[in-house]
Amino acid sequence: MSTITTKDGTNIFYRDWGSGQPITFSHGWPLSSDAWDRQMMFFGSRGFRVIAHDRRGHGRSDQTWDGNNMDRYADDLAELIEQLDLKDIVMIGHSTGGGEVARYIGRHGTSRVKKAVLLSAVPPIMLKSESNPEGTPREVFDSIREGTLTDRASFFKELSMAFYGFNREGAKQAPGLKDTFELQGVMAGVKAAYDCIEQFSETDFSEDLKKMDVPTLVAHGEDDQIVPIAAAAYKTIKLVPNGVLKTYPGGSHGLAQLTPDAFNQDVLDFINS
């Protein structure tokens, strides 16, 4: 397996395919880089170098007790980018991975970055508060913590219903995709998966978004039940200096896996614009 070892001794697994302009992919919780298979095949076959890593504690990376926080996630990504000496990168992040991309730019700047894509991403902040009334109540995240601790396999299988919109009337079911979601979820270490819940729900990325001075595509499903669009994309587009908003009517949180053709083409058009 291809890995880098970070400054704190953590082994981070990554896939590095193809050649050409690099595209990095940051996955959502509780998944792994395998969630990007359709995108990596699409862009890799079109002359891009595609790189996706498993966040620490997830997938095939080390299951760490410490360091499961957004700053460290961004620094791990920075170490990967620096060790591979990537330049003119298109950074793509989904959900928690979108927060990771924003925090990377907030901490490390855009000297190596050409463009960015935030897909169904958690910024600016998910947690509901007086200043963020469109957010998600804390009780929802507490229930995610309970499910993660008690019976992760069953909880992730249930969560996949809303993740892909399979719970909507008339939705076409994809049992294999649900199984894949569960399998990727249980590969994550329980400590890392548990810690990450606070990171994706309570981290405020507002200042990071303001530093995203490269062209940024903000893409979001209008029927996202995990990261509702009103608290995320509609606010993010007002904070990024050079953003383009693309919404998908009826689109779920997992639209890149469920309807990859449309998303991939939109990203390709954005890269080439």
Selecting among 53, 62, 224, 252, the annotated active-site residue is: 224
Helix or strand or coil: residue 10?
A: coil
Residues making up the chain, counted from first to last:
273
Q: What is the DSSP string of 44-94?
A: HTTTEEEEEEPPTTSTTS---SS--SHHHHHHHHHHHHHHHT--SEEEEEE
At which residue do the structure tokens 């919404």 appear? 247
Selecting among 53, 58, 220, 253, the annotated active-site residue is: 253
Nearest Cα residue to 25 out of 88, 93, 81: 93
Return d(Cα 141, Cα 126) in angstroms, integer.
10
Please confirm, yes or no, whether 54 is among the known catalytic residues.
no
Tokens coding 43: 């862009």
Tokens coding 64: 């760490």
User: Is 224 exposed, middle or buried, given 0-12, 13-18 or 19+ CB atoms closer than 10 A?
Assistant: buried
Please confirm, yes or no, whether 8 is among the known catalytic residues.
no
Please confirm, yes or no, whether 253 is among the known catalytic residues.
yes
Return d(Cα 116, Cα 177) in angstroms, integer.
26
Selecting among 26, 33, 61, 95, the annotated active-site residue is: 95
Catalytic residue numbers? 95, 224, 253
